Amino acid sequence: MQISTPDAEAEIYTQGAHLTRWTPRGQRPVIFTSSRSLFVPGKAIRGGVPIIYPWFGPREGQPMHGFARTSEWKVENLAAGTAELSLSQLRFRVSVGLTLGMELEVHNDSNEPLTFEEALHTYFAVGDIHQVSVTGLENTAYIDKADGCREKRRDSAPVRIAKETDEVYLNTRAACVIDDPAWSRRITIEKTGSESTVVWNPWIEKSKTMSDLDPEEWRGMLCVETANVASNAITLAAGATHKMTVRVSL
């Protein structure tokens, strides 16, 4: 479905409640979606904002990154630049304007505690990945998934991307800013209810193994994911609700 407001336009698929576009008027797209994405049932759209739930990453015998991103969600509301979709105990709310607001709510409607991981796995469009830097993750511990899941600590320098990057930052609530000199812009990502941030770019070799990504598209994208994963997984008491929000602005 398309959402059009005086300030921006966006697009959301009911498969995965997957937002694939948010473009403030007069701007280049802020959200990257692959030109080779398949858009077929059962396969996650490549790009946009996949909703990762209830686990992050691989799980034996189960779909990578959980089932939410390939499930068909129900549209609950669509009005004046906002949308709300649901999938059993999940609700996803989007507001489209000069800022992009997203909220993922999980309600534990069972009688037992519920433990889960989650991510709004946002793909940002950038002019040239080689020139990009990300601030907000300085002096933070992370798991380096591109280096055997070794535990490391970022120093006081911004994150730069010069190779395959798959970094899971833990215990961080900070806003991140993607500085993109090639397109002369900064993307600010503010969040609440999230203790993890994942930074991902597949770079050259991994891209070649991904049939739904053009071999050159890694140059123009960067995932900065608002998440609760690994030791930041959430445990919700019976009847309790958790909300994770992201606010993206230029």
Q: Which of 84, 117, 195, 225 is catalytic?
A: 225
**Token pair recorded at residue 133:** 């830097």
- Unique residue bearing structure tokens 């889960």: 116
Q: Is the distance from CB of 120 to CB of 144 less than 8 angstroms?
A: no
Q: Decide: 17 and 87 in contact? Cβ < 8 Å.
A: yes
* Residues forming beta bridges with residue 248, ordered by sequence position: 100, 189
Please report how close the Cβ of residue 118 comes to ligand BG6 at its closest, in angstroms. 12
CB of 212 to ligand BG6, least distance (A): 8
Residue 145 found at the interface with ligand BG6 (CB under 6 A):
yes
Per this entry, what is the length of the chain?
A: 250
Cα(191)–Cα(118) distance, integer angstroms: 14
Q: H-helix or E-strand containing 187?
A: strand 185-192
How far, in whole angstroms, is CA 161 from its chain's centroid?
A: 17
Q: Decide if residue 65 touches ligand BG6 (CB under 6 A).
A: yes
Of the residues 121, 167, 190, 195, which is catalytic? 121
Cα–Cα distance, 172 to 228 (Å, whole number): 10
130 is catalytic: no
Q: How far is the CB of 207 from ligand BG6 (least distance, A)?
A: 11
User: Angle 136-139-142 (CA atoms, 0-180°, nearest 5)?
Assistant: 90
Least separation in angstroms between residue 122's CB and ligand BG6 is 10
Which one among 123, 200, 203, 218 touches ligand BG6, defined by CB under 6 A? 200
Counting Cβ atoms within 10 Å, is residue 166 exposed (0-12), middle (13-18) or buried (19+)? buried
Site string for ligand BG6, 224-243 (x = CB under 6 A): -x------------------
Q: Closer CB to ligand BG6, residue 40 or residue 64? A: 64
Query: What is the smallest separation between the CB atom of 117 and ligand BG6, expressed in angstroms?
Result: 11
Q: Is residue 18 annotated as a catalytic residue, yes or no?
A: no
Tell me whether residue 145 or residue 219 sits nearer to ligand BG6 (CB atom).
145
Minimum Å gap between C-beta 204 and ligand BG6 is 14
What span, in angstroms and rounded, lies between the C-alpha atoms of 56 and 154? 22
Q: Contacts with ligand BG6 in 147-176 (CB under 6 A)?
A: 166
The site for ligand BG6, by CB under 6 A, has a size of 9
Q: Are 9 and 3 in contact (CB under 8 A)?
A: yes
Q: Which residue, 18 or 121, has its beta carbon nearer to ligand BG6? A: 121
- Between 65 and 93, name the residue whose CB sits nearer to ligand BG6: 65
Binding mask 9-48 toward ligand BG6 (x if CB under 6 A, else -) reads -----------------------------------x----
CB contact set of 231 (below 8 Å; sequence gap of 6+): 170, 171
Instruction: Name which of residues 100 to 119 contact ligand BG6 (CB under 6 A).
Output: none
Which residues are identified as catalytic?
121, 225
